[in-house]
Amino acid sequence: MKKVLPGILIGGLAAVLCIGVMAVVIRLLPDPMVKPGSSPALVTVIPARSIPPTIVPTATLAPEMAATLANLPPDPGGKIQAGISVHISGTGGDGLRVRRDPGIQGEPLFLAAENEEFSVTAGPQVVDQLTWWYIVAPYDEQRQGWAAANYLVPAAVP
């Protein structure tokens, strides 16, 4: 029994020594996933483009609306129909209120920008002596509503 105990101690000490040597060797070996001469990848974070908030004008009718109606650009007449593309024009850069219902009393949903393009999906409806068309933005179906034809210009056909 006395000879077995030193043998176990020597064997255990040898095992610990082997494990330590293996750990050092593994630590010193190069990483097989990294090619020699390469550098670690750099990550560049590009911030997302900020989207301007949707401007929802108030639904109140200004007293000078009668004068505004008299100074509208001309209605393009029969040039607009369902299924074509149009763009906003004639707002002087102020944009066009697109409404929930046709008519100047309709609740404004958002402000369409000058030259913004839309698809005409319904209409016409004549309300408040104006012709109204239902328009939908091709890039965002949440941007849809009724717009006065006086501010719509048919897009050029390619």
- For the chain (length 158 residues), average pLDDT per consecutive 10? 67 84 78 64 71 59 50 67 91 92 93 94 90 93 93 80
13 found inside a domain = no
Number of structural domains found in the chain:
1
139 found inside a domain = yes
Please tell me the predicted confidence (pLDDT) of residue 38. Answer: 65
- What is the C-alpha to C-alpha distance for residues 2 and 113, in angstroms, rounded to an integer? 96
Name, in order, each residue with C-beta under 8 angstroms of 95's C-beta and a sequence gap of 6 or more: 55, 88, 111, 112, 113, 114
CA angle 62, 65, 70 (to 5 degrees): 170
- For the chain, percent helix, then strand, then coil, each to nearest 5? 25, 30, 50
Domain that includes residue 126, residue range: 65-154
What's the whole-model pTM score? 0.55
Supply the CATH number for residue 137's domain. 2.30.30.40
1 found inside a domain = no
Residues making up the chain, counted from first to last: 158
Please tell me the predicted confidence (pLDDT) of residue 47. Answer: 74
Query: Which residue reads 């997302």 in tokens?
Result: 48
